[in-house]
Amino acid sequence: MLGVQIYTLPHDDMGVSGYDFSRKGKQNHVCVKYSEIPEFLYVLAGAVGADFLPKADIDDILGNKFSSFANEDYDDLAMRVDSWTEHFRKVWKRLDDEKIVADEKMRNGFPALVHLKEELGSGWNYLGAVKGSAEYSLMNVLYDNENILMSQAGQEVLMDYSDARKAISFAVDWQGSCVSVALRPYLER
């Protein structure tokens, strides 16, 4: 574990604190609006799955279809997040070409992704995007063989896969089926 802290915020929002990819310096913070927590769980589970949860939680997830926090069925949520993420995943892959990174329109259109690609190089893959809200910016989520990096408004938080499982478990314990149904696609595979 990399020492990530997971906590609640007012209005049922969720926060994660930890160090950036340099693993030194000050702690950074990323936040998720309560209505986007199902998206956040779905994205994280893309790297670590959901079969590590206790049987009672898994049974509860499989017994529900609707996420009240996201206000949609689990399959609609998965389709929406996958579609939303695919655009960013394509941009991330295109950034492997140095000419694309140098292109001014790309730098202006996707400054966060260009910055991350320059800092991290090509060893990282694009895992997903958690859309922003009035309170919080869009969050880009990347992964490699061991870690997940969340980037939001210039703040990067690095977590390993055990931290990701901890974040998922925290949200499931805290909010139950309001958010956990987002994990159902990973349990049905």
Q: pLDDT tens, 70-107?
A: 889 999 999 999 998 998 999 998 888 777 766 777 77
On the CB side of 31, how many CA atoms lie within 13 Å of its CA? 14
pLDDT band at 150 (very low <50, low <70, confident <90, very high): very high
- Is the confidence at residue 156, as pLDDT, over 60? yes
pLDDT score at 98: 72
- The pTM of this model reads 0.91
In three-state secondary structure terms, 98 is helix
- Shortest CA distance to 6 belongs to which of 39, 47, 37? 37
Q: What is the mean pLDDT of residues 112-141?
A: 90
What percent of the chain is modeled with pLDDT above 90? 59
Angle in degrees, 0-180, between the axes of helices 111-120 and 74-94, rounded to the nearest 10? 60
pLDDT band at 23 (very low <50, low <70, confident <90, very high): low
Out of 43-47, 112-116, 118-122, 151-155, the most confident range is 43-47
Report which of residues 108 and 55 the model is more confident about. Answer: 55
